[in-house]
Amino acid sequence: MSWSICSESVPAEGMTRFRLVSYNMLAESYIGLPYYSYSYSYSSSRCLDWRNRSKATLTLLKELRSDFLCLLELEHEYFYITELKTYGYYSVYIQRDGEKPDWCGIFYKHNVVESLIKNTINYNDLSKSCYDDDDLGYSSYDDGDLGYSCNGDDDLGRDCVGIMVAFRLRGAPSNHIVIVANTHIF
């Protein structure tokens, strides 16, 4: 696989460049589920095997030389945290709610940026809070097309989460803040 840098992206005067990569890791535990089995039926079991994919993915992530990595469906999170730390990445992450085994994480080069503050989002909690305020007019919701209904007690049923982190770029003026957000929405 060959990657190229877009030459049109030239930073404005006084701005600092950085590279961000977002990558869905395809959690190992989801491969056997009907939706994924159909989606990846063209892939060999060797390619889908986590041991093979993890090595190939780590090699790819290293070659991309990104300052930020937004990883989705991150299973075996401690493996990636440990391995990517050897490449100079620190991490912040959040596990999906319910009994979902995967995580959503932001990995960043500590020598390039300084982490200032983080915030996590649980979409189920966010949707429930909409029903707590009758003034908003969201006391009941039903959408058969989407396959779910919410009445204030229900959640979205997907256990989706997100994470946001504010960073200061090292070597840039102190007022240059970058906010990186990562989420996995089904």
What is residue 138's predicted lDDT score, i.e. its pLDDT?
Answer: 44
Higher-scoring residue by pLDDT: 78, 34 = 78
Q: In what order do the strands lie in the sheet with 68-74?
A: 20-24, 68-74, 103-109, 89-95
Distances in Å between the Cα of 17 and the Cα atoms of 60, 61, 179 are 21, 18, 14
Asked if 93 contacts 115 with a C-beta cutoff of 8 angstroms, the reply is: no
What stretch of H or E contains 63?
helix 50-64
| Whether 170 contacts 115, CB under 8 Å | no
The predicted pLDDT at position 91 comes to 94
On the question of pLDDT at 52 being above 70, the answer is: yes
The predicted model gives 113-137 an average pLDDT of 75
Q: Are 170 and 113 in contact (CB under 8 A)?
A: yes
Domain 20-183 CATH superfamily: Endonuclease/exonuclease/phosphatase (3.60.10.10)
Residue 40 vs residue 136, higher pLDDT: 40
Residue 179 banded pLDDT, cuts 50, 70, 90: very high
Answer whether residue 89 shows pLDDT above 50.
Answer: yes
State the pLDDT at residue 105: 93
- Examine the pLDDT at 149 and tell me if it is beyond 50: no
Give Cα 28 to chain centroid, integer Å.
16
186 in Cβ contact with 158 (< 8 Å): yes
Q: What is the mean pLDDT of residues 168-175?
A: 84
pLDDT of residue 80: 85
Model confidence, pTM: 0.75
Tell me what the mean pLDDT of segment 126-145 comes to.
54
